Amino acid sequence: MREKLVFEISKKGRVGVSLPRCDVPEEEPERLIPERCLRKDLPLPELSEPEIIRHFTRLSQLNYAVDTGFYPLGSCTMKYNPRVNEEIASLPGLARLHPYQPEELCQGALRLMYELGEYLAQIGGMDAVTLQPAAGAHGELTGMLIIRAYFLSKGQKRHKVIIPDSAHGTNPASAALCGYQAVEVKSDKKGCVDIGELNKLVDDDVAAIMLTNPNTLGLFEGNILEIAAIVHRAGGLLYCDGANLNALLGVARPGDMGFDLLHFNLHKTFSTPHGGGGPGSGPLGVKKALAPFLPVPLVVKQGKRYLLNYNCLLSIGKVRSFYGNFGVLVKAYAYLLSLGSEGLRQVAENAVLNANYLMNRFKDHYHLPYDRICKHEFVLSGARQKKRGIRALDIAKRLIDYGFHPPTIYFPLIVNEALMIEPTETESRQTLDRFADALIKIAGEDVKTLKSAPHHTPVGRLDEAAAAREPNLRWKK
């Protein structure tokens, strides 16, 4: 069931789409464009429409997806993507709009953005929100730029951003991209920021601390109020990576904990599908003091009209063209409306319940480095199995044989042979049990079976070393 490349299917003379005849004078391009600017050859493939549909349909079938099975990929919040959101996002009145069409002809779109911003502010405990960032990491970058602009406006140039050792790679990368020095703070035995360490690191050169809360171990930073006090006292800001907000919806708000900035991952918490890697959307919420620095334009309401306000003197400018991933925003907006405030809390409650239930089933079979109530996810260690020569990777691959997507592995970095499991609220207990049964069974399986897994996939384990050594990044004749 493997599939050729489109280039290998291509045959000279085939066409894949019918185009309109030219109804204006058919002038030779040479008359309109200097010959030297015209391309001689366009080496694109040639396929008929049936071949195209069949090719990509068959490719699709080689994928695992939330719609085909359990996807407990920690940190990614692979929850069910409601169908009605897709239907709504494809309505011509919402999908087929030019970003520069006159304001009076996009009041519906602006209203949607305005309201979504308000709802997100509510949920996160923030004062103002920009919907412009295209993903979580983009939100982080935007946040870093805002922090920088904020201090500059106060005549300060701070250089450091503190980031826990358990943080996602985007956090240090975003800080660095913005010229900050990323300073690592260690986690304590309980898996949270080591307060002693933190105290030592914080000084008046610290622009901010970036925290994920619950953190990447799935644990709530219980000392968050203390952390906030420490950082704020030194004049620094608190940035919250909201990737794990699913655990807190309607239960607690980062804004109330002292966070000054917070990005939302709409493609995680707010159920917009991940599309095989994107598009996402990473709106950023900030406290009032930071609002003047948000990227332009902001959607504002004047009376009953919605406007795009570009007139923000202190703004960092823009982090992408236009207003953000509007099509993704539509889905998140629809999701929020179908939940309402009650539903929102149910999401968090069930996500956390599912995680704890599942974690509990593994206690006797895998090493659980942090044995306490978790939030929406938890991290097992394959340390015991490693003694038998079995790696987290082997366990992951073997899960595929049982029909499951593997968890995130080897992250966070502070856990040996980490298996990071996030069930989400949209899975049933039956599914959790089947998954637990499989993972427990695997814990006892023989090395050979595990090392050779997966066994029923169109390809087996691939030679990644060779791929990196001699990169083959495109087809050639």
Ligand X SMILES: Cc1ncc(COP(=O)(O)O)c(C=O)c1O
Query: In the stretch 388-427, what mask flags binding to a second copy with x, by CB under 8 A?
Result: ---------------x----------------------xx
Buried b (16+ CB within 10 A) or exposed e, 44-55: ebebeeebbeeb
Quickly count: other Cβ atoms within 10 Å of residue 20's Cβ: 5
Q: Residue 254 in contact with residue 213, Cβ under 8 Å?
A: yes
Q: Contacting other proteins (CB under 8 A), which of 154, 196, 225, 447? A: 225
- Is residue 349 close enough to count as binding a second copy by CB under 8 A? no
Q: Contacting other proteins (CB under 8 A), which of 201, 217, 396, 442? A: 396
* 323/335 with CB nearer a second copy: 335
State the binding partner of 241 from a second copy, other proteins, ligand X, none, CB within 5 to 8 A by kind.
Answer: ligand X
Residue (of 256, 188, 245, 169) closest to 214 by Cα position: 245
Contacts of residue 58, defined as CB under 8 A and 6 or more positions apart, other chains included, come to 1, 3
Residue (of 307, 273, 276, 303) closest to 102 by Cα position: 307
* 136/283 with CB nearer ligand X: 136
Which phi and psi (to 5°) does residue 408 adopt? -70, 140
The footprint of ligand X on residues 149-188 (CB under 6 A) is 168, 170
Q: Contacting a second copy (CB under 8 A), which of 29, 30, 68, 196? A: 68
* 417/422 with CB nearer a second copy: 422
Q: Contacting ligand X (CB under 6 A), which of 6, 47, 66, 76? A: 76
Half-sphere exposure for 409 (CA within 13 Å, toward CB): 13
Residue (of 176, 131, 141) closest to 284 by Cα position: 131
122, 268, 278, 283 from 130: Cα distances, Å: 14, 18, 19, 6
* 286/436 with CB nearer a second copy: 436
- Is residue 434 close enough to count as binding other proteins by CB under 8 A? no
Find the part of the chain contacting a second copy (CB under 8 A) among 61-69, 99-107, 123-131, 212-220: 61-69
CA distance 370 to 373: 9
Half-sphere exposure for 447 (CA within 13 Å, toward CB): 7
Q: Which amino acid is at 36?
A: R
- Is residue 241 close enough to count as binding ligand X by CB under 6 A? yes
The footprint of ligand X on residues 273-292 (CB under 6 A) is 280, 282
State the binding partner of 75 from ligand X, other proteins, a second copy, none, CB within 5 to 8 A by kind.
Answer: ligand X
Please work out the total of residues on this chain that contact ligand X, with binding judged by CB under 6 A: 14
- Is residue 48 close enough to count as binding a second copy by CB under 8 A? yes
Residue (of 436, 343, 390, 371) closest to 82 by Cα position: 343
Minimal distance, residue 259 CB to ligand X, in Å: 14
For residue 419, list its beta bridge partners: 380, 409
Q: Contacting ligand X (CB under 6 A), which of 137, 141, 299, 379? A: 137
The footprint of ligand X on residues 7-66 (CB under 6 A) is none
The H or E element containing residue 264 is strand 261-264
Q: Residue 88 in contact with residue 332, Cβ under 8 Å?
A: no
Find the part of the chain contacting ligand X (CB under 6 A) among 133-141, 385-393, 417-425, 434-442: 133-141
Q: Contacting other proteins (CB under 8 A), which of 309, 317, 388, 389? A: 317
Which phi and psi (to 5°) does residue 240 adopt? -110, 120
- Is residue 299 close enough to count as binding other proteins by CB under 8 A? no
Q: Contacting other proteins (CB under 8 A), which of 114, 116, 129, 140? A: 140
Contacts of residue 417, defined as CB under 8 A and 6 or more positions apart, other chains included, come to 381, 382, 383, 385, 386, 391, 392, 409, 410
State the binding partner of 22 from other proteins, ligand X, a second copy, none, CB within 5 to 8 A by kind.
Answer: other proteins
Q: Which amino acid is at 422?
A: E
Tokens of 8: 């290998």
Which residue intervals of 311-380 are DSSP H helices? 326-362
Minimal distance, residue 216 CB to ligand X, in Å: 6
Q: Which residue is nearest to ligand X (CB)?
A: 136
State the binding partner of 325 from other proteins, a second copy, ligand X, none, CB within 5 to 8 A by kind.
Answer: other proteins
Interaction site with a second copy (CB under 8 A): 1, 9, 11, 18, 48-51, 53-54, 57-58, 61, 66-69, 80, 82-83, 338, 403, 426-428, 430
Interaction site with ligand X (CB under 6 A): 75-76, 135-137, 168, 170, 212, 216, 241, 243, 265, 280, 282
